[in-house]
Amino acid sequence: MKPSTLIQVIGTALAAAAHILAQPVVTPTPDKPDEIQNVSAYTISNSFEAGYRMSNVSGNQDVYRSSINYGSGLRLFEGQLRINSKEGTGTAIDELSLYTLGAGDDPYQATRLRLEKNRWFRYDMQVRVNQYFNQLPSLWNGERAARTERTFQNHDLVLFPSTRFEVILGYDRNSQSGPGFFTENTASNFGAFDGENFLRFSNDIRRENNQYRAGFNARAAGLAITFVQAFDNYKEDPIFGDASTLPLPSSNVQPVSGVRRDEPIHGNTPVTTVAIRTEKERKLGFQARYVYAGGNRNFILSENITAMDPALSASSLRQTFVFGDADRKQGNGDFSIVFMPTDRWTISNTTAVNNTRIGGDSIFLELTNVENRLTSFEFLGIRHITNASEVNFRPHRTFGLYGAYRFSRRRVQTRENFLFPGGIAARPLFEQNNDINSAVGGFRWFPAGGLRVSFDAEVGEADLPFTPRSDKDFHSETLRVQYRKKGITLGGSFKSRDNSNAASLINHSSQSRHWAVNGSWTDPDGRLMLDAGYTKLEIDTASGIFNFFGEADPVPEARTFYTSNLNTLYFSSRVQPHKRATVYLGYNIAKDTGDGRGAPVFSDGLEPAYPNFSFDGTNFYNSFPLTYQSPSARFSIALHERVSWNFGWQFYNYDERFSGDQNYHAHVSYSSFRWSF
């Protein structure tokens, strides 16, 4: 094929693909092989699916938009183009692959492109767009929300791929923009400010992160070496406004007469990555990697709030400043060595070190008509060292054992200074160390053809956990069984995990149990396929918390109990009653029964904003009982060897037991034509 002819083929195909920037339907038509055309030294396949999607939603529209968010209208569901040289020696390229989903008016969009000329270059591009909406009643009674569009771009170019020296070039971009609003606690009573109220701001979100990188992969003397230098730039320039007059449900919004808030954040971070490893499997092998990031970030928050006090005919002023110039230096590296004296034994050891140090000026200053407050942050350092030694032994080809010992040590250091009304409190350097020792073991067993059994267990202990929810005295066990033979797959698993953390102030314990079974079957002709599964997850946690009900009230010791009993069931089938007709049926349901309460109960006049917990005067009981189910059906009829008609329907039903504020149900369907050429 002449270069001009190839360019015409590519141009025509790309032009067609540009008009079929496709998007996935809620119930997408499963992929079908496209018709492959031979054009001189290349094979070409191209297809697209276009149609109309319909949605009918009742109930809470905000929750539906936060989770599903599909609407009605004409859609280009999917498009793909593939061009490959037959012998791998094409004139201009050897591979062109373009796949698109969700362009146009769809909230979720993606595009992937690959261009490659063997041993000369390989270019990969990915672009994803997510139109995000969130305004849930369970989050601050709907007082926080965002409607943004986030775009992810990834560009990777490799020169001289699959050779001993590859040049790596890349660029990533992550941007987010759109309106939103949020709240801020008033914090204290003075003048016109009421400590029970909160401030409400509008926010024009503008975030952007760009990364540029270059490096190489080299192979020599049985070693593979990688070096990449990246430069990361982050900036955030939001625009804030007063949102105290927005018609939202809460009544305790602080009235203000003047608002000004600025919060720009700019920073640069160079990142260096070096890695080396042995290439081929040998008795003694190793790999090592080190990554260093030394960044600097400049930030400032300047907030001026004025509120008028009608009783005094005077205004109250609160000024808040947060500013600094922070340096963050982070280095992490790991080294692994593997020794295989025989085919039955494998001995390995891995050591990893992560060291993060944040230092520089960081000041919080609040000025009011009554008092001033200042907090000065100076330093935060976290060093984490881990080591793991593992032995694998396979006495027989059907049975293998392994055991491992793991150790980790975490050190946290921090220093802050405080200025209170009437004096300065300078704190010394705070330091806490925590060691974790754990032992791991298990086996893999193949007792018969197609049958596999595995068991894993871990037991460990930490001497000084950093947080109440961290691991202290813990153990876990996992059992898996799977059988495969002649189109049949059956499986089951059980996993248990327990953790108890008894600290001087707060006791925390957690327990989880997970059961799962699944199975699938496909008939020899491939005209009938069945797949089903069931899982049950039980979670029980108990933690101590502090409750401050009022300045004059005593502070009771209490524990909060969280219980979840989640059951999920899925079923799917594919039936081909005729060579031109295919039917897909499916059903999914997730049901959390919680702790069995029929309704929330409150004592001592306590009533939460969202009824997900109960209080008996001593302890809190928290759970989220709900049911989510979604049946679906799809039909595909081949009208021609290159054209098929598709129809799909899916029902979404979300139902919470204690409150109907977030419940919704929706019917989403589509009708489309798929054309391969």
pLDDT digits (tens, 9 = 90+) for 241-255: 888 877 666 677 888
Degrees, nearest 5: CA angle 300-306-310: 165
Residues with Cβ < 8 Å from 347, sequence gap 6 or more?
Answer: 338, 339, 340, 341, 389, 390, 391, 392
The burial of 127, by beta-carbon neighbours within 10 Å (0-12 exposed, 13-18 middle, 19 or more buried), is given as: middle
Q: Which residue ranges of the chain lie beneath pLDDT 50?
A: 1-28, 504, 546-555
Q: Which helix (H) or strand (E) holds 62?
A: helix 61-67
Sequential DSSP letters for 274-342: EEEEE-S--SEEEEEEEEEEEEEEEEEEEEEEEEEETTTTEEEEEEEEEEEEEEEEEEEEEEEEEE-SS
Strands (E), 369-398: 372-396
CB 83 within 8 A of CB 42: yes
Sequential DSSP letters for 147-171: EEEEEEEEEEEEESTTSSEEEEEEE
Number of residues in the chain = 677
Cα 476 to chain centroid, rounded: 24
- For the four alpha carbons of 275, 276, 280 and 282, in that order, the dihedral sign comes to negative
Give the per-residue pLDDT at 11: 42
**Residue 134 corresponds to which tokens in the numbers above?**
């969130």
Give the per-residue pLDDT at 664: 93
**Residue 427 corresponds to which tokens in the numbers above?**
């704190």
Q: Which helix (H) or strand (E) holds 358?
A: strand 345-368
Give the per-residue pLDDT at 27: 44
CA distance 226 to 224: 7
Q: What are phi and psi of 498, to 5 degrees?
A: -130, 140
CB 620 within 8 A of CB 559: yes
The burial of 15, by beta-carbon neighbours within 10 Å (0-12 exposed, 13-18 middle, 19 or more buried), is given as: exposed
CA distance 653 to 57: 10
Give the per-residue pLDDT at 420: 53
CA distance 99 to 125: 11
Give the per-residue pLDDT at 226: 97
**Pairing outcome for strands 108-117 and 95-101:** antiparallel
Largest CA distance in the chain: 89
CB 95 within 8 A of CB 112: no
